[in-house]
Amino acid sequence: MMWRDAAMDRRRLISLAAVLAAPALMAAAPKKDDKKKTTVGTYVEIQTLTASVMRPGGKRGVMTVQTVLDVPDPKLRAKAESVVPRLRAAFVQTLQIYTAGMTPSMPPNPDVLGQALQRDADRVLGQKGAKLLLGTLLIN
């Protein structure tokens, strides 16, 4: 019985040491910026957009689109950074409408999709001046 009490005391001592060391470790840790940076130069990054699509053979697939906004005007870029979630929501809604109208064997048309997404960007930002750049269009 004696060895069980010693083992229990050791566990308690280790737990106590871990609890007491935590604040010191947190204070020594480097400070991180909580805000995720979404701009590089004049570009505002938009997370990858996805929508479901019908593939040949009747199976469901996923269309993935990478987009970036090029906003040279600093004031408009600041506004674009602040409304990235609204931009992304508008882009996803447009992408879902576009993919719903696609036939299973039809490849995506980047010209049509780019024009629709550009209209959404201008509408959400309230003015023209941001240029939408399409990256990869992929159907999985």
pLDDT tens per residue across span 41-75: 899 999 999 999 988 888 899 999 999 999 999 99
Measured CA to CA, the distance from residue 51 to residue 95 in angstroms comes to 6
In percent, how much of the chain has pLDDT > 70?
81
pTM of the predicted model as reported, rounded to 2 decimal places: 0.71
Highest mean pLDDT among 12-26, 98-112, 122-136: 122-136
Q: Which residue, chain included where needed, has tokens 């023209």?
A: 128
Look up the CATH number of the domain holding residue 71.
Answer: 3.30.479.30
Domain assignment of residue 94, yes or no: yes
Q: Which residue, chain included where needed, has tokens 């979630």?
A: 85
Structure-block tokens of residue 37:
């940076």
Q: Which domain holds residue 56?
A: 39-139
What's the mean pLDDT when you consider all of the chain? 85
Burial of 2 (C-beta count, 10 Å sphere; 0-12/13-18/19+): exposed
How many domains does the chain divide into? 1
Measured CA to CA, the distance from residue 65 to residue 91 in angstroms comes to 10
Domain assignment of residue 118, yes or no: yes
